[in-house]
Structure 1
């Protein structure tokens, strides 16, 4: 795999040219020094040859040999000859030794000559080499110094010129590095100075086409999911999605809720008399009223179950709250004026039934339909609830929930459970922390039951603060191989005080601990408040934490946020995973989500895997990991005895 070079193009060229010039100067300097030395040696040899020739001629003359001791020392001293011996096999005829002080005798030039006119005689000399005592002289070396200075100035000017000429290529290279770092959106269009211009324009065009392709793919994925799970007229869920969510809720433990059916009577007559346009307008009006009324109830599912029938799944709500909702719903529908031939006082009827974990979906829908028929028999706009023994009348109100939660927070916060997440190859990814609380009787309450109350009383920030504090304490005390994932609510992240506290807390935590911490944010709230969540997610990722988008697929939203916030993991909602081996529409949804993450580093995790059949299908689809009871049950992350002791101290009585 190719990697981007760590050295810029301009720096490469500057370094290359500089090296070539320096090498050229060095070669010229060495060559000049060698030539200079050779000229000096040749000059000395030539001069000494003349001295020897004079000595030879004088020794051949009998009168000259007698006067040699008078004139020869002066000549030798002028010639820088330190020592001289004239002799033969019989002995030394003449010897001379100068008195000049020598710092290093090894530098002397030694030479030996045979006298041509005096056979058998030799002259041995030791002389000082030329230029030995010379030092640097500006006058003598000015031309060379000027040449070197001109070369250096020319080199500096040339490098500056080269940098200016290649500035455009540097801009193009810098832009390429930013794109490789993932900052494509910020560098869609290049600078006009980028060079080569054709490469810059080609890059602009490719980025524009890539962006359009990503948006088109996101729109196509959203289109697939919308046509698979949403009603095209009202935008509400269709029957497939409603049945899937209801089945998922019934298979979860310790869950309850209500199913509400709303039917428009004489729909076929209205369609025949007024036509499809006016009939559709009535359906849209009814759907708008229902959509507005369910906003105050989290996790509620609104579905257009049939052409003239709506279904509402109201989870984790007591019977009293369901009755209030039905009354408000009926009053809102009574204010509508249906077109003829519908009767204003007898055109809308509501059937209600309650459901809990372990019941069959088909039986629940039959009960709701029976209740709706009972409401129709009354002959007026009304609602009717199916009579069941268990209607959850003992559910808490907001005041009791606030009292219980206040006591929980004052005693140290919720009890933490954990469930591991593993990759397809079996290696562990992290452990997700799950919150539980104990009621006055010491019974554990799952998050699916009390999180709705936490949101209603406005304790989201307090709950998340307790869980994050405990998670950081656990990470600091556990081995460095352990990683933990913590759930954060969007409501808490919208509070500036909580975000500031979280930032300060993470800044005080070592980097090695933060690298083992993941934060999970629900997909629906994240997309709804994407502009507000974007800086928060960047802060978490910048500090070294991992970002997980939780409950993906719970609502039908565009997946363009995947490229925007650069999440590390996406966890599919358990309603998509439940019995996925039997539901082709859920497999289509998962394929669409995997396709949206294909050209990114995001890994898709399936949550709620219950059996081997589900896991086998998920692996074939291409998910990267799984979480659920098939791998490991939820186990306590704290000491159970400590939790019970805290509960006893909290309520002042024995708990079981």
Structure 2
């Protein structure tokens, strides 16, 4: 992969030009100094050669030999000659020396000259170096100083001009860095100063096409998921999604509830008597009543099973609660005014059946249809419950839930279980923390069984605070060294006191430990309350924690959150993973989710992997990791006390 240069283009060019110009000035200065010195030495040598010529002529003529002591010292002193000696093979003929220059700090130039007119004679001259006694003066060096100043000013102006000319290239480079960092939306529109213009315009067009392609891909994925799992007329779940959810629920340990079917009679006759538009409007009106009725059950699923049949799945509800809800639902339907051609007293019938863990989905649908036929035999708007010998667990009211949960929190009896999440190669990604409690009889309850009671009595924030406190305490003590995930409720993330408490707790931890924490949020409530929880999620990301979106695909919602919050992982709901090798529609949904996360760094994790056939197909589809009994069992964090074995007195040898 190519590395990105750390220094800007303008800085590199400015540094290059400045270095070259400085080097040129330095070379010119050194060359000028050497030239000045060479010229000075040549001038001194030429001048001294004329003095030596006069000395040679004076020695050659006897008449002038006596006058040498008269004019030579004055000439030598004026010429800055410090010492002069006239020597021959027989000895020294004449010597001159300036007393005031003896021991001076200046370096002296030594020259030796032969006397052509007097063979055997030569002269040694020691003179002061040229410019040795010159000091800096404004008048003498003004031209040179002004030249250097002009060069410096020209360099500063040239650098400023160069920066202005290359500002567009820097803007284009900065834009490229933001694109590589994944912040394409921030630079979708270019600056007019960007240069080269052709590259800037090309980026504008490519970003525009990329944005259109992503929007089209998002619309296509939403359309694909909607047509696969949603009814086109009412917008509620269709038969495929209902069967997936029911199939996964009856195979979940400890699950129970009720399946209800509402049949609208004589819909085909209504189409023949009027038209399809009137019948569709009537179906929509019935669907609105059913949707409003199940609002009190957050986990309930409403689906249009056939053209004239609706199904409702109630989770963790008792037979008594089901009968009460069926009566209220029938009274709400009877308040509707059916179209002309339908009997006001005999146009809808409801059938219900209770289920528990381990029952067959096909058998349950046969039983609920039998209950509908039993209601039709009464020839009035009525409902019927299919009776069978199925013992459903007794449900608790708000008082019993509050008593149980208060005891759990006050006695600190909340238990934590863990389950590993692995990648495609079987390596550990992180460990998910699962909350468990014991009921009055000591039976272990999963979060799916007691979370509705927690929401019913308003202890969601207290539960999340307890789990987070336990995990943080173990992180601080060094008992947890691997990445760990904590499930948080959207209602807690919306609570102002919980936000402040969680921020203070995380701020007391080191950045390295905060980086090992992942927070999981359910997809459906996240999308519904996205604007309210987005600041909290951004705060958690800013503190170094990672985000995980759980239960993806449980309901069909928009996946815009993948782009907005950039979660580390998106975990598929277990109903999509169950028997996926036998469900092409679920494979299509997972492919759509993988396509949504492909442009980002978000990985898709499958939850509820039970068999090798499921895991093999999921790997073929391209999931990033998985979680389930096949990859790792749920383990308790509670230390196991060793038990003492009884002594075997009569042991057979």
TM range (shorter): over 0.9
Task: Evaluate the alpha carbon distance shift between residue 640 and residue 289 of structure 1 in structure 2; reply closer, same or farther with a 3 A threshold.
Answer: farther
- 1:338-353 matched pairs, under 5 angstroms: 338-353=338-353
What is the CA distance between 1:169 and its match in structure 2? 3.0
1:108 maps to 2:108: yes
Unpaired runs of 5+ residues, structure 2, are 643-653
Provide, for residues 115-144 of structure 1, a one-character-per-residue CA deviation record: whole Å limited to 9, x for no partner. 111101111222221112222211111101
What is the CA distance between 1:287 and its match in structure 2? 1.0
Corresponding residue number in structure 1 for 2:145? 145
Whether the aligned pair in 2 keeps the contact of 1:319 and 1:393 (CA below 8 Å) is no
Q: Tell me, in whole angstroms, the C-alpha distance in 1 between the residues paired with 2:207 and 2:528.
A: 27
Q: Tell me, in whole angstroms, the C-alpha distance in 1 between the residues paired with 2:227 and 2:129.
A: 100
Corresponding residue number in structure 1 for 2:428? 428
Whether the aligned pair in 2 keeps the contact of 1:430 and 1:483 (CA below 8 Å) is yes
What is the CA distance between 1:15 and its match in structure 2? 1.9
Q: Tell me, in whole angstroms, the C-alpha distance in 2 between the residues paired with 1:194 and 1:335.
A: 67
Q: Which stretch shifts more, 113-122 or 20-29?
A: 20-29
Corresponding residue number in structure 1 for 2:309? 309
Whether the aligned pair in 1 keeps the contact of 2:475 and 2:481 (CA below 8 Å) is no
Q: Tell me, in whole angstroms, the C-alpha distance in 1 between the residues paired with 2:361 and 2:507.
A: 49
Whether the aligned pair in 2 keeps the contact of 1:353 and 1:371 (CA below 8 Å) is yes
1:538 maps to 2:538: yes
Corresponding residue number in structure 1 for 2:74? 74
Secondary structure of the 1:374 match is helix
Q: Tell me, in whole angstroms, the C-alpha distance in 2 between the residues paired with 1:527 and 1:2.
A: 38
Whether the aligned pair in 2 keeps the contact of 1:319 and 1:391 (CA below 8 Å) is no
Whether the aligned pair in 2 keeps the contact of 1:415 and 1:638 (CA below 8 Å) is yes
Secondary structure of the 1:166 match is helix
1:634 maps to 2:634: yes
Provide, for residues 292-340 of structure 1, a one-character-per-residue CA deviation record: whole Å limited to 9, x for no partner. 1112212211111111111111111222322222122111101111123
Q: CA RMSD in A?
A: 1.9
Q: Tell me, in whole angstroms, the C-alpha distance in 1 between the residues paired with 2:388 and 2:3.
A: 68
Q: Which stretch shifts more, 295-304 or 182-191?
A: 182-191
Task: Evaluate the alpha carbon distance shift between residue 536 and residue 10 of structure 1 in structure 2; reply closer, same or farther with a 3 A threshold.
Answer: same
Corresponding residue number in structure 2 for 1:61? 61
Q: Which stretch shifts more, 297-306 or 172-181?
A: 172-181
Q: Tell me, in whole angstroms, the C-alpha distance in 1 between the residues paired with 2:432 and 2:486.
A: 6
In the comparison of the two structures, how many residue pairs are matched? 641
Corresponding residue number in structure 1 for 2:222? 222
Provide, for residues 5-61 of structure 1, a one-character-per-residue CA deviation record: whole Å limited to 9, x for no partner. 222222223222222322222222122112111111111111111121122122212
Corresponding residue number in structure 2 for 1:620? 620
Corresponding residue number in structure 1 for 2:202? 202
- 1:81-230 matched pairs, under 5 angstroms: 81-99=81-99, 100-102=101-103, 104=105, 107-230=107-230
Q: Tell me, in whole angstroms, the C-alpha distance in 2 between the residues paired with 1:619 and 1:246.
A: 25
What is the CA distance between 1:285 and its match in structure 2? 0.9
Corresponding residue number in structure 2 for 1:498? 498
Task: Evaluate the alpha carbon distance shift between residue 521 and residue 288 of structure 1 in structure 2; reply closer, same or farther with a 3 A threshold.
Answer: same
Q: Tell me, in whole angstroms, the C-alpha distance in 2 between the residues paired with 1:123 and 1:16.
A: 54
Q: Tell me, in whole angstroms, the C-alpha distance in 2 between the residues paired with 1:368 and 1:269.
A: 24
What is the CA distance between 1:103 and its match in structure 2? 5.0
What is the CA distance between 1:379 and its match in structure 2? 1.8
Secondary structure of the 2:66 match is helix
What is the CA distance between 1:478 and its match in structure 2? 2.9
Secondary structure of the 1:359 match is coil
Whether the aligned pair in 2 keeps the contact of 1:368 and 1:386 (CA below 8 Å) is yes
- 1:36-47 matched pairs, under 5 angstroms: 36-47=36-47
Secondary structure of the 1:629 match is coil
Q: Tell me, in whole angstroms, the C-alpha distance in 1 between the residues paired with 2:247 and 2:539.
A: 38
Whether the aligned pair in 2 keeps the contact of 1:488 and 1:521 (CA below 8 Å) is yes
| TM-score w.r.t. length of structure 2 | 0.94
What is the CA distance between 1:640 and its match in structure 2? 5.2
| TM-score w.r.t. length of structure 1 | 0.94
Q: Tell me, in whole angstroms, the C-alpha distance in 1 between the residues paired with 2:12 and 2:578.
A: 58
Q: Tell me, in whole angstroms, the C-alpha distance in 1 between the residues paired with 2:336 and 2:188.
A: 51
What is the CA distance between 1:253 and its match in structure 2? 0.8
What is the CA distance between 1:215 and its match in structure 2? 1.1
What is the CA distance between 1:604 and its match in structure 2? 0.9
Whether the aligned pair in 2 keeps the contact of 1:302 and 1:311 (CA below 8 Å) is yes
Corresponding residue number in structure 2 for 1:647? none
What is the CA distance between 1:542 and its match in structure 2? 1.5
- 1:478-557 matched pairs, under 5 angstroms: 478=478, 481-557=481-557
Corresponding residue number in structure 2 for 1:653? none
